[in-house]
Every structure is written in C-alpha cells, then in structure tokens.
C-alpha cells in the first residue's frame, strides 16, 4: 500500500478578487487572515462594500490577523472563536446567498476542506471558489477503521482517539470527507511499526 | 451451448471469510475459462483496452459473466452489506438516473446471455424480473424507485457478480458517484466517493509518469453507449477472501505473514479482475465493473499448467514498485519459489487466452 507520493492532495490557488462576482464571501482561519488582508487590499471600494468576511481566531500556530482585517470597509466582518463555528457561519451565509456569489477560503487544509464541503452542498462550482493555503500543513485525518476524524495531525504515525489503533497517515486526500486517510500502521505484524516522521507541517 | 450447463454446476456452500473457513474451490472447467491476465512473460502496466465483444466460450462470452460461484457470491454480498452498512454500497443523491441505467444494462445482459437462468419481461415501463438462480420473481415500474425495496443499483447488483463503480462525467473528468464494492481490493469506497479520475488513481505508482492516465481518461470520455470496452487487471490475495477493503485491513493483512514456500500453492490466490466498461445511455455516466475471479496457485498448476508457468515468470520479473503497491512484498519470494518447481522453462505462447494463438491453459 502506497503511503507517500500519492497525487490526490488538493492544489491551491492564490486569492485575488473575482471580477465576475456581485457578492463576495471571504472566510479564513488563523494564518489564513494574511492572504485575506492581501485580497481585501486588492479589492475596489465597490467590491469591499459587497464583501462579507468570516474569520476564526482559532490557530494552530497562534497567528491572529483580526486587527488588520478590521481596517477594511467591508459590508460585514463576523468573528468566530473556533473553526467549526466559522464553518457553520459560512453555511448560514451561503443559505441566503444570491446568484453571482464568489467564495474565498484561506487557512489550514482542514478548514479549507470542511468549508469546501459546505460550498459543495450549495452546488457552488470550482470556478466560483478560490482557495489559498496558509500556515502549517497540519492534517485532518479520517480513520478508515472506526471513522473518527482527528484534527491537526502533525506526525506520520499516531494513535487514533476513536479506536486506539496505531494509524499511519497516507498522502491520500478525500475532498468529500475533507481528510487524509489513516490506516492501521502495524496491520501485517502487530507491534511492527513503520518509522515515524514529522509530516510536512 | 453455454459455459455453464445447468444450475447443478452452481455451488451454494462456498465461503469467502475465515468464519466460513474459506470453503472455496474451482472446478477444472472453472479454472480453464478464466480471463487469464498475463499475455507475456514480463508484466508491466498498460491500458490494454479492447472492444468488449464476445470472445471464446469462457469468461468473455457474455457481457457480464457469471460462473459456478454466482450463488455463493451473491450470498456473500448480502452478508457483507448487513455486517457493515454504509461501507460497501454508497450512491450520491443525483445518481438515480444512472442507477436505472445500470439496472437495465445488467438485467438485459443477463437475460440475453443466460436465458436459462434470467428472464426480463417489459411491458412499457412495467417490468418483470425473474432470477431463477436466486428464486426472485419481482415486478416493478422502471424509473419509479418506490416500486423497488431498495435503490435500483443496490437491487440489481445484489444479484450480480463483481463490483460496480459508477462514474459521472463532470468538468472533463470522471467522478465516482456510486459503488457496490463488497469485494474491493485495498481501497475505501467511502473515502473515494466523489473523487475524480486522477485523484482515485493517486495511490497507483508509475501511472502518472507513464502518461497512461491522461490517455485512458481521454479514451473513456470518448466512449459511446453500446460500444463497451474491457481490460483485465490482477493482484494476489492470501486465502480466497473477496472482501479486502481498507476498512477491514487489520483483519486480513496478518494473513500475508502466513505464506511460506511450502504452503504458497494453497494459500496464495491469483485475483483476476475483468473490467468491462460501458457508457450508460440516459445519464451519460460510465460504469466500471470489476468482476473478480480467485484461483489458487495450486489450482493453476493442476488444471492450467501453462498459465502456472506464465505467472511464475511474470511474478519473478515483476517491478518492485508494483510488488509493494499490490501489497505482497512479504510473500512474493515464497510464491515465486513455490511456482518455480512447476516451470520447466518451455517457451509459451504470447497473447491473452481469448486472442488467436494466445496462451492456453495447457499445451495439448
């Protein structure tokens, strides 16, 4: 079973204003505030007035761009304490969004992935969404054996909090589950563990 | 004359699980009709797609092949679905039209190719389906899911041998929209659902570099309804275990350590995958069936000695990346050593067994 070198990891964009948009939603988390500041700086006053910003201050690396984001004259700036709250806020915003809405996402892979799940559920197309990765590459991992999702995984091998098996993280990514795949690390010979390593965080 | 002569040939007491003690055996005829996947002594990937037209009187005679394991394989599927609900069968909500397409394709093919076992009677959209092998006689309205006890795809594929993955065409690629995969080789349907062609092929080494994926996708996107194509693929499995999903890896991966050069003949099974791909007419989806055949190395030696020699050479010279990917590096050497005792080195024919002058199970 191939562990590394799998080519399913998402390829990210760079956030720039989408001229075709009539209405802009920009959601970010932690370090993702930095690309958002750059995005807002590139917008016209009209675009800013049609932009709602959602920002989660939860950060794996303690990065906070709230002060910088507050300097822009946007339609609305909503602040959330956790990434999960911000994703729920995005869901609520998309529920009332009109045609011509463009979505911008930045932050950790887990945040972008779970936000994309919401966007996909509203039928947004890939050309209506830009995604920029920021900060550490901590991973969200789905356990293939018990279905548990682990957030912010930093090492190749870890113990699943759901079923307590030793899991190895494969470089295989599911957009639908917004997670990498974890499988039993010592599946052939229990106790015979592969070498652990820090992931490319 | 059909490849299966009457229902007496169908085995009903087979088991593909350790709980059932792996009660599984092939008859001599069952081995010799297999779509043996090694045309040459050296094996490397290729697209190896060819028109799916009837060939020979073995596994390639019908659009969707059934064999002596049909009844027990359907029972195994029912057991797997009830053991792990939501893991082996999944369909995205918008796939309903493709599901009906697939039901029609399977039932029409079975009724045409095996009229002694299956009958499909159509009166407009009022259909009657008779499956004498499983004792099913149902009437339903084609296109109306309320007239079936479950999803149309689940209903049809519970009565079919092999896996079925339905791919929808979207943004110039193919995306997994539904699957019935109770016998999948080392992947997770739940994880792969919604993935595009390049994404779900991500874990396969060399394909990207060799440019095979680009060519294969372009080819598949040009497929037309009524013009199916097929390819064969293969792997090795320890014990006659059909269900080897990622989810249950901890249950079956330890078996890989039990193979020795003494017991490899009985323990190691060649897992042949026949993949007859069809474009579906209404939904424009593509169905990717994986019809899996298991045969032990010992059965090959006994009933198809030339195929045993061929697999000895193909395994012996196999690229090490493929050995790793297919998951048998731990017992590869033992299998090759066991097989070496049954290979006299005589030259063998080239080509698939169903091709003119292709390799036959035995020389005479």
- State the distance between the two ends of chain A, measured CA to CA, in whole angstroms: 23
* Contact at CB, B198 and A189, closer than 8 angstroms: no
Examine the domain organization and report whether A92 and A74 are in the same domain. yes
Examine the domain organization and report whether A43 and A122 are in the same domain. yes
Question: B41: which 2 tokens?
Answer: 């002594």
What is the pTM (predicted TM-score) of this model?
Answer: 0.90
Task: Choose, from B184, B231, B271, B279, the residue flagged as catalytic.
Answer: B231
Examine the domain organization and report whether A45 and A82 are in the same domain. yes
Domain of A49, CATH number, reads 3.40.50.80
Tens digit of pLDDT for each residue in B93-124? 999 999 999 999 999 999 999 999 999 999 99
Examine the domain organization and report whether A39 and A112 are in the same domain. yes
What is the model's pLDDT at position A201?
Answer: 54
Q: How many Cβ pairs within 8 Å bridge chains A and B?
A: 72
* Contact at CB, A145 and B191, closer than 8 angstroms: no
Contact present, A17 and A43 (Cβ < 8 Å): yes
Counted domains in chain A: 2
Which of B203, B213, B176 is closest to B192 using CA atoms?
A: B176
Examine the domain organization and report whether A154 and A106 are in the same domain. no
Examine the domain organization and report whether A170 and A90 are in the same domain. no
Q: Which residues of A touch B188 (CB under 8 A)?
A: 144, 181
Q: For the CA atoms of chain A, what is the radius of gyration?
A: 18
Question: B329: which 2 tokens?
Answer: 């590096």
Integer CA distances (angstroms), B357 to A36, A75, B12, in order: 65, 74, 36
Contact present, B15 and B23 (Cβ < 8 Å): yes
Q: Does residue B256 carry a catalytic annotation?
A: no
Considering only CB atoms, A144 lies closest to which of B199, B247, B257, namely B247
Domain range for residue A144? 139-184
Domain annotation covers residue A46 = yes
Integer CA distances (angstroms), B293 to A45, B44, B92, B242, B245, in order: 65, 20, 28, 9, 16
Examine the domain organization and report whether A32 and A102 are in the same domain. yes
Examine the domain organization and report whether A84 and A119 are in the same domain. yes
> Beta A129-133 vs A149-153: how paired, if at all?
unpaired
What is the model's pLDDT at position A137?
Answer: 81
Give yes or no for A189 touching B (CB within 8 A): yes
Which stretches of chain A are DSSP H helices?
Answer: 33-41, 45-49, 66-69, 83-95, 109-121
The β-bridge partners of B140 are: B127
Q: How confident is the model at residue A1 (pLDDT cuts 50, 70, 90)?
A: confident
Examine the domain organization and report whether A104 and A143 are in the same domain. no
Give yes or no for A7 touching B (CB within 8 A): yes
Over residues B204-215, the mean pLDDT reads 80
Domain annotation covers residue A71 = yes
Domain annotation covers residue A147 = yes
Contact present, B197 and B30 (Cβ < 8 Å): no
Domain annotation covers residue A199 = no
Q: State whether ipTM is beyond 0.85.
A: yes
Q: Which residues of B touch A184 (CB under 8 A)?
A: 249-250, 253
Examine the domain organization and report whether A36 and A127 are in the same domain. yes
Give yes or no for A28 touching B (CB within 8 A): no
Considering only CB atoms, B253 lies closest to which of A126, A175, A187, namely A187
Question: B221: which 2 tokens?
Answer: 């996107």
Strand order in the sheet with A139-143: A149-153, A139-143, A179-184, A166-174, A157-159
The β-bridge partners of B276 are: B230
**Nearest chain B alpha carbon to A187:** B250
Give yes or no for A121 touching B (CB within 8 A): no
Write the DSSP symbol of residue A103. Answer: E
Tens digit of pLDDT for each residue in A46-95? 999 999 999 999 988 888 999 999 999 999 999 999 999 999 999 999 99
Residue B6 has pLDDT above 50, yes or no: no
* Contact at CB, A188 and B254, closer than 8 angstroms: yes
What is the model's pLDDT at position A6?
Answer: 74
Over residues B359-363, the mean pLDDT reads 91
Q: Which residues of A touch B201 (CB under 8 A)?
A: 7
If DSSP states are collapsed to H, E and C, what string results for chain B? CCCCCCHHHCCCCCCCCCCCCCCCCCCHHHHHCCCCCCCCCCCCCCCCCEECCCCCCCCCCCCCCCCCCHHHHHHHHHHHHHHCCCCCEEECHHHHHHHHHHHHHHHHHHHHHCCCCEEEEEECCEEEEEECCCCEEEEEECCCHHHCCCCHHHHHHCCCCCEEEEEEEECCEEEEEEEECCCCECCCHHHHCCCEHHHHCCCCCCHHHHCHHHHHHHHHHCCCCCCCEEEEEEEEEECCCCCECCCCHHHHHHHHHHCCCCCHHHHEEEEEEEEEEEECCCCCCEEEEEEEEEEEHHHHHHHCHHHHHHHHHHHHCCCHHHHHHCCCCCCHHHHHHHHHCCCCCCCCCCCCCCCCCCCCCCCC
The β-bridge partners of B238 are: B268
Tens digit of pLDDT for each residue in A152-175? 999 999 999 999 999 999 999 999
């Amino acid at each position: 079973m191939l562990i590394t070198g799998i080519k399913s990891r998402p390829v990210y964009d760079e956030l720039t204003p989408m001229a075709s948009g009539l209405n802009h939603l920009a959601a970010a988390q932690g370090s993702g505030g930095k690309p958002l500041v750059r995005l807002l700086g590139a917008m016209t006053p009209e675009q800013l007035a049609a932009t709602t910003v959602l920002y989660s201050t939860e950060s794996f690396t303690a990065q906070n761009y709230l002060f910088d984001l507050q300097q822009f004259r946007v339609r609305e700036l909503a602040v959330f304490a956790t990434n999960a709250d911000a994703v729920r806020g995005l869901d609520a915003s998309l529920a009332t969004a009109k045609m011509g809405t463009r979505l911008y996402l930045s932050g950790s892979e887990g945040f972008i992935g779970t936000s994309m799940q919401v966007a996909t559920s509203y039928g947004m197309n890939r050309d209506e969404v830009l995604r920029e990765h920021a900060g550490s590459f901590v991973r969200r991992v789905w356990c293939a054996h018990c279905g548990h999702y682990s957030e912010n995984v930093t090492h190749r091998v870890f113990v699943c909090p759901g079923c307590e098996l030793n899991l190895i993280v494969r470089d295989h990514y599911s957009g639908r589950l917004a997670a990498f795949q974890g499988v039993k690390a010592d599946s052939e010979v229990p106790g015979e563990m592969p070498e652990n390593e820090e992931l490319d965080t | 004359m059909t490849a299966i002569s009457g229902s007496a040939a169908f085995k009903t007491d087979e088991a593909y699980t350790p709980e059932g003690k792996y009660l599984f055996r092939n008859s001599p005829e069952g081995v010799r009709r297999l779509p043996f996947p090694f045309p040459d002594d050296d094996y490397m990937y290729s697209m190896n797609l060819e028109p799916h037209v009837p060939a020979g009187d073995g596994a390639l005679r019908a659009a969707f092949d059934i064999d002596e394991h049909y009844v027990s394989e359907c029972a195994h599927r029912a057991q797997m679905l009830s053991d792990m609900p939501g893991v082996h069968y999944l369909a995205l909500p918008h796939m309903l039209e493709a599901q009906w397409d697939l039901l029609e394709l399977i039932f029409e093919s079975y009724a045409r190719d095996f009229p002694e076992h299956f009958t499909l009677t159509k009166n407009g959209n009022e259909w009657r389906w008779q499956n004498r092998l499983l004792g099913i006689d149902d009437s339903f309205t084609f296109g109306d899911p309320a007239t079936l006890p479950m999803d149309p795809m689940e209903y049809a594929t519970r009565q079919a041998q092999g896996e079925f993955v339905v791919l929808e065409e979207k943004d110039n690629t193919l995306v997994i929209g539904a699957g019935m995969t109770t016998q999948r080789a080392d992947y997770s349907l739940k994880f792969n659902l919604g993935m595009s062609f390049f994404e779900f092929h991500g874990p396969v080494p060399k394909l990207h570099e060799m440019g095979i994926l680009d060519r294969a996708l372009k080819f598949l996107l040009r497929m037309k309804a009524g013009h199916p194509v097929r390819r064969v693929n293969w792997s090795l499995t320890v014990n006659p275990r059909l269900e080897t999903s990622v989810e249950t890896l901890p249950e079956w991966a330890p078996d890989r350590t039990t193979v020795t050069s003494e017991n490899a003949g009985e323990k190691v099974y060649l897992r042949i995958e026949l993949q007859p791909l069809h474009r579906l007419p209404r939904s424009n989806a593509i169905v990717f069936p994986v019809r899996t055949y298991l045969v032990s190395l010992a059965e090959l030696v006994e009933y198809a000695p030339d195929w045993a020699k061929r697999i000895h050479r193909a395994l012996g010279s196999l690229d090490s990346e493929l050995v790793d990917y297919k998951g048998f590096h731990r017992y590869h050497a033992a299998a090759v050593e066991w097989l070496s005792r049954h290979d006299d080195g005589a030259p063998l024919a080239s080509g698939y067994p169903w091709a003119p002058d292709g390799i036959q199970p035995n020389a005479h």
